[in-house]
Structure 1
């Protein structure tokens, strides 16, 4: 089945998709600490990229679970970029003040990175391997998906 058809079917079904590895689009975005972070500089690590918005109820539910993943696997060569897609970061900053996460939060107010990753569902989580290849795309979030994320992270760390 062609990759584009597989992507459409996965998006419609809200499934994780183990895609044919292709290079993850590079980006540099400003983080919540004010520094610019770049994906290419993470080469050698497994990177989870989570696109989210403060108005997205599943995103709000998922955020503490992402923090647990980050805490557990960071020492093993894993990092997580939470990319907020809202034009105005005020609501995101308020939400983050309440939740408190330690992984980097990046801002994509012009949706340039979101477009590069073809984000069409909230949240969307992309798993990038140590070589900078996209290996999994997860669209949406349902309770229990954190176990799927754990399996994907462990697999990619183990390679």
Structure 2
């Protein structure tokens, strides 16, 4: 997840919050994934139901939520995440 680490470092001061969601009830797998990928942002662990509710069906899948808590984008392509994040950050 180097791109997300980069976005976290670049835009967190502007209000971007990155939260990874590990969709597996096995917390140890989540901890291992965090160590192996070097994630520098928070990681939540859930059993997969939350991500299904959002319509996420692949890994990794990205969901953008605006400052008001409204879900704006689901299933965003990796290459578009920075552009979409900038658009939302500009909506102050």
Q: What is the TM-score normalised by the length of structure 2?
A: 0.85
**Pairs within 5 Å for 1:130-141:** 130-138=67-75, 141=78
Q: Which structure 2 segments of 5+ residues have no match?
A: none
Q: Which has the larger radius of gyration?
A: 1
Cross-structure match for 2:57: 120
How many residues matched? 91
- Which segments of structure 1 move beyond 6 Å, counting only runs of 4 or more? none
Name 1:156's counterpart in structure 2. 88
Q: CA deviation at 1:99?
A: 2.6
Aligned-CA RMSD value: 1.6
Contact 2:64 2:73 in 1 (8 A): yes
Greater RCO, 1 or 2 (C-alpha within 8 Å, sep 6+): 1
Tell me, in whole angstroms, the C-alpha distance in 2 between the residues paired with 1:100 and 1:82. 12
Name the one with the larger helix percent. 2
State the TM-score, normalized to the length of structure 1: 0.52
| Aligned equivalent of 2:14 | 76
Structure 1: gaps of 5 or more residues: 1-62
Distance in 2 (CA, whole Å) between partners of 1:105 and 1:154 is 22
